Structure 1
Amino acid sequence: MTFKPLIMSLMTMLCSLFGCTAQTIGFRSVEAEEFGRIIADTTQAVTRLDVRTAAEYAEGHIANAVNIDVLDGNFESRATGKLPKDKTVAVYCRSGKRSKKAAAILVRNGYSVVELNSGYMGWTKAGMPTDR
């Protein structure tokens, strides 16, 4: 009798469980409605950051968002050189994967970060406003 299928299932479950937790250490990941409330709250200092490509950004984005492509090799230096540390960074991408990567980089550099879990696709699906 082999335990290989059982071991593989157990490893997959553990990787999924701990992988998701590790990705959000140091920042909050929220859905579109809460993200909208955070960026609309004028009592908080928030910088909106779109980490998609320039072409994706040009097709539509959240109003007043700064665009710095997280896949650009200079993302970290560009972001830390442009984004103020005294404001929370509200970061998003297309689906939520790249923004988690960007959020981790920003947190490592001392930023307070809120990340749009479902990305721009979730934002538009929820009927939230965009700039085109």
Structure 2
Amino acid sequence: MNLGQKEWWSQFLADENGVLLDVRTEDEYNDGSIPNAINIDIYKGQGFIYKIEELDKSKNYYVYCAAGARSSQACGVMQQLGFENTYNLLGGFSNWEGPTK
């Protein structure tokens, strides 16, 4: 599901089962990210799928990338793998106005 920044963040903050997932490259992640986000690079192909498969499918995943395209793709892959609740951040980290580290 695609959510705008305010809705995405407020829903995450209220979600005791929420997990932040950054699907950008490690370099992008190291240049700045949302605090407590897990980084799994979608460009790693099969490696991305292996890492995603290790995650708890009962959690709710709040997924972001730089602009919203890779995270949208990641949400689709995750749904095919059996994840029921994935939320894509529209506009991505490049438009992010919330906390960063």
Please indicate the TM-score interval, normalised by the length of the shorter structure.
over 0.9
Instruction: Find the counterpart in structure 2 of residue 56 from structure 1.
Output: 28
Consecutive unaligned residues in structure 1, runs of 5 or more: 1-27
Aligned length: 99
Question: Which among 43, 62, 82 is matched to residue 110 of structure 1?
Answer: 82
Q: Percent identity?
A: 33
Classify the secondary structure of the residue corresponding to 2:79: helix
Of structures 1 and 2, the one scoring higher in RCO (CA 8 A, sep 6+) is 2
**Pairwise CA RMSD:** 1.0
Structure-1 separation of matches of 2:31 and 2:78: 25
- Quote the Cα distance in structure 1 between the aligned partners of 2:94 and 2:100: 11
- TM-score by length of structure 1 reads 0.72
Name the structure where helix makes up a greater proportion of residues: 1
Separation of aligned partners in 2, 1:116 and 1:80: 21
The residue that corresponds to 1:34 in the other structure is 7
Normalised by the length of structure 2, the TM-score is 0.93
Larger Rg: 1
Aligned to 1:129: 99
Structure 1 residue identity aligned to 2:52: A
Q: Deviations over 1:33-84 (max 9, x none)?
A: 1111022114x30111000000000011011100000010211111111x21
Match of residue 67 from structure 1: 39
> Which ranges of 4 or more aligned residues in structure 1 deviate by more than 6 Å?
none
